[in-house]
Amino acid sequence: MKTESFRGRDFITLLDWSKEEVETILDVALDLKRRFAVGELHDHILRAKTLFLIFYNQSLRTRNSFEAGMTQLGGHAHFLDPSKIYTPALPGKEVAYSTERVSDVARVLARMGHAIAIRCYGDPVDWVYGAANELMRNFAYWADIPLLNMECDKYHPFQALADVLTVKEKFGTFKGTKFVMSWAYSPSVHKPRAVPQSAIIAAAMMGCDTVLAHPPEMALDPEVIQACERYAGMNGASFAISHDFEAAAKGAHVLYPKAWAPTQIFKPPVGEDNPALAQEIFDRYKDWKATPEYMALGDPNAIYMHCLPCDRGWEVTDEVVDNTDPERGWRSVVYDQAENRLHVQKAVMSLLMR
């Protein structure tokens, strides 16, 4: 397809993009990955261009994959710690001589660079569900350069792209591939919904037979569920929700157990602002854990996926995370998945920031 329509667009959620457009991103990512593997330089693509990275939350994979990606494309990434600048804030959230209105920050940075990337969820927005997404959309409104979502409280589109690129590499197809996104136990309830929501959006959009498995209290955003049902129908695939951890895993090609918070952690109107109740709910399901026995329920060549960092010993055992040998049948692909963050992000930046 023609890629001129990509230039200058925001990348906040896959819901804003068509399946054909996402397939183009994956094709470009694979091409860039192959070039990188043989040492071919592609530093002419974004030569002398600047990406501003604003992290309200900590990061390992996201920050380093974006910085490395910009270097490999010939540009430069500026890391901005909101606590070391006048923290960008929405109207009504401002503090004198401490914050600066998003509209001002966005317009200033747009005069100096070529894209703004933001990570924000949880504590920086007081666990008000959707507030971080609103912050990003406000940045996007005021900046006339692309806004890239490095994870908000609703979506993590770059992780989702890495997820489906990994599935494509391992199985060669999405059709007939059973993709199970499952809740798993963690002692920490402060887990945003962004990864599971974006993972099932991407899997359903690409045509996987997608299953969302979770305890009844861990339901995800109804808007996301409706989108997955629509994509499944469009692709002649299936989308199902299960409350049975082991039953959902049977015959799966992709097993992706990860913790996310119940609505009780969020403030009203979505939640109850009750962390103690959220913890009580979490602790009811300590047996939702990826073990070798759990992996054996899947297809003989099943893969274990996780966005990382995983909570070893709680969400998953070491035997599962560290089994990367394909000769043993099911295996972990979490490091391939992490590497693919670099390649999908380079693809998006190449298409949007030209």
Confidence (pLDDT) at 327: 79
Residues 21, 94 share a domain: yes
Q: What is the CATH number of the domain that holds 63?
A: 3.40.50.1370
Cα–Cα nearest to 342, from 165, 202, 204, 203: 165
172, 112: one domain: no
Are both 91 and 51 inside the same structural domain? Answer: yes
Query: In terms of domains, do 111 and 235 share one?
Result: no
Give the per-residue pLDDT at 2.
78
Residues 233 and 192 in one domain: yes
Residues 261 and 273 in one domain: yes
Clarify whether residues 312 and 220 are in a common domain: yes
With CA atoms as reference, report the closest residue to 328 among 286, 278, 292. 292
- Please list the pLDDT of the chain residue by residue as tens digits (354 residues): 778 899 999 999 999 999 999 999 999 999 999 999 999 999 999 999 999 999 999 999 999 999 999 999 999 999 999 989 999 999 999 999 999 999 999 999 999 999 999 999 999 999 999 999 999 999 999 999 999 999 999 999 999 999 999 999 999 999 999 999 999 999 999 999 999 999 999 999 999 999 999 999 999 999 999 999 999 999 999 999 999 999 999 999 999 999 999 999 999 999 999 999 999 999 999 999 999 999 999 999 999 999 999 999 999 999 999 999 877 789 999 999 999 999 999 999 999 999
Q: What is the DSSP string of 97-160?
A: TTEEEHHHHHHHHHHH-SEEEEE--SGGGTT-TTHHHHHHHHHHHH-SS-EEES--SS--HHHH
Do 95 and 169 belong together in one domain?
A: no
Q: What is the number of domains present in the chain? A: 2
Domain that holds residue 36: 4-154+341-352
Task: State the pLDDT at residue 325.
Answer: 85
**Claim to verify: residue 80 and residue 194 sit in the same structural domain:** no
Statement to judge: residues 109 and 175 lie in one domain: no
Residues 196 and 141 in one domain: no
Same domain, 220 and 241: yes
